[in-house]
Structure 1
Amino acid sequence: MYSILAVIDPVAFSLGPIDVRWYGVIIATGIIIAFLVGQREMVKRGLHPDFLTDLLIWAVPLAIVGARIYYVAFQWEHYKDHPAEIIAIWNGGIAIHGALIASVIVAYIFTKRRNTPFLKVADILAPSILIGQAVGRWGNFINQEAHGGEVSRNFLENLFLPDWIINQMYIDGSYYHPTFLYESLWSLVGIILLLLLRRVNLVRGEMFFFYAIWYSVGRFFIEGMRTDSLYVIGELRAAQVVSIVAILISAVFIIYRRVSLKNPPRYLDK
């Protein structure tokens, strides 16, 4: 017989009356690791050491705002009657696609003002974005959220998961698909592939477009398992629609640039 262990306390530690939650610690850890990896590569590619720091000062807070706006937009039927809750981000309710869209917009404007090619920066940061996503999903694990449909314990054991993961997926009397883990592992494989692609010296922009395609393919299928999806119309899941659009746009850009550009700049160009 197995025993159900206590779930992991979402509060990592307290500073007086302030509770510091594991979710925030994990997200911050992901950002720091992503920063260190991206910073090292940026310097190698000839950018100023402070470039990424200056970018993140704008991108991180605005990404959080974008994540919240995206979530509220797809839950507007609720928030239109409870407008005071729109800013209550501490109660949960952010979406990674909103954060990504906001980050891309901020990065585009920032690079234009710094007279630096946007696609050069996007290529360099593509592995870092996946690092942040791979680490950040473990915050969902701690919070017992963003999981899939109900499964048996035997199903989870057959995935060769350790007990501490299996027990954390025991929520309100049932076990659930650890979709956070599926997405984290998918992102990890993507990181490895992107780091290998650096050596291929792809056309500028293709590293970033590969990231968009890779993440979107995985997210499309994983989203279909989740029980907390945002919906566009009826049973049409917002994340799946965004994933399809991202795949199509990325594929078109790759083909267009390959066909139309003669001697295009490449990843290793400075």
Structure 2
Amino acid sequence: MHPILIRIGPITIYTYGFWVAIGFFAALALILKEAKRENLSPAIISDLAFWTVASGIIGARLVYIIYDLPHFLKHPLEIIAFWKGGLVFIGGLFFGLLASFFYVRRHHLKFWQLADLIAPGLALGQALGRIGCFSAGCCYGKPTHVPWAVVFKNLNALAPLDIPLHPTQLYHSFACFLIAIILFCSQRHYFNKRLLDPAIPYGRVFALYLGLHGMQRFFIEFFRGDIKPIFFGWLSLTQIISVFMIVSGCIIYLKKKS
């Protein structure tokens, strides 16, 4: 657990920001590769990725600030220090999708085609970004005595120190890697099927993403130690949103299958 990757004089490179950047470029590389297969312009995809990620970071940071508003009211300069850690993916997904929707409408593109295109890359980017969470000590788990528990020692970590915790960051990372593989295989499967039947609708891969991500987030949330349940005494806001994602994914998949 190393929150600070490199420090050279006044220049500090945070491990969290490094892994988020690695996740972004890995996701973009995968998306651009698949865009060529779909005969889509790399320039348009790059522009779309920029606006989606920029909006997503703003949304993710905004939701994180809302979660811990009293702290940021006392330390307003920390509001923009997202590179140290502190992004809520659900907020990023909502704002990112909103930006994508307006971009797609403005350029008269096919929303569901692009949604399917970015889904595997999005999961891959999340998987790598979660390694940054682990390094920063954010999104930490509840105290536990399982053999794979982790103990944070670095004073710069956001997690409680010297307490064995569930490595929920790594749970999320593993789950997202697995989801990325499933989505990538599904994307290739539907691409090959469209070669024989172009009428097969887009949207199923993104629907799978919504359902699978919602499920992993819902269940791993029970092991998180930085979340306060606010519904029925045992459910968090993120879990309620995750249920909405699961239901939405099922509806979209069934609709696109008909």
For the aligned residue pairs, the C-alpha RMSD in angstroms reads 2.4
SS of the residue corresponding to residue 203 of structure 1 reads coil
CA shift for structure 1 position 88:
4.1
2:72 and 2:43 mapped to 1: Cα distance? 41
1:207 to 205, 212, 217: 205
Question: Per-residue CA shift, 1:218-261, capped at 9, x if unaligned?
Answer: 110001110112555554301101100011112112223333xx
Partner of 2:218: 220
- With over 3 angstroms needed to count, the CA separation of the structure-2 counterparts of 1:89 and 1:51, relative to structure 1, is same
Question: Bigger CA drift: 241-250 or 142-151?
Answer: 142-151
Question: Per-residue CA shift, 1:124-177, capped at 9, x if unaligned?
Answer: 11000000110000111111221211122x6218xxxxxxxx455895222111
What's the TM-score once normalised by structure 2's chain length? 0.85
Larger Cα-atom Rg: 1
Question: Per-residue CA shift, 1:12-64, capped at 9, x if unaligned?
Answer: 11243021111111110011111100001011101112122111221222211
| Higher fraction of strand | 1
Residue 137 (structure 1) aligned with residue 126 (structure 2): no
CA contact (8 A) 2:52 2:96 kept: yes
Letter in 1 for 2:216: G
2:184 to 177, 195, 201: 195
Q: Percent identity?
A: 26
CA contact (8 A) 1:68 1:89 kept: no
- With over 3 angstroms needed to count, the CA separation of the structure-2 counterparts of 1:113 and 1:95, relative to structure 1, is same
1:189 and 1:224 mapped to 2: Cα distance? 20
Point out where structure 1 has 5 or more consecutive residues left out of the alignment: 1-7, 158-165, 260-270
1:92 and 1:194 mapped to 2: Cα distance? 27
Point out where structure 2 has 5 or more consecutive residues left out of the alignment: 155-159, 191-199
2:161 to 156, 172, 184: 172
1:155 to 147, 158, 163: 147
Superposed, which structure 2 residues align to 1:61-72 within 5 Å? 61-72=54-65
Superposed, which structure 2 residues align to 1:115-130 within 5 Å? 115-130=108-123
**What is the aligned residue count?**
242
Partner of 1:114: 107
- Runs (4+) of structure 1 exceeding 4 A deviation are 79-83, 166-171, 230-235
Partner of 1:5: none
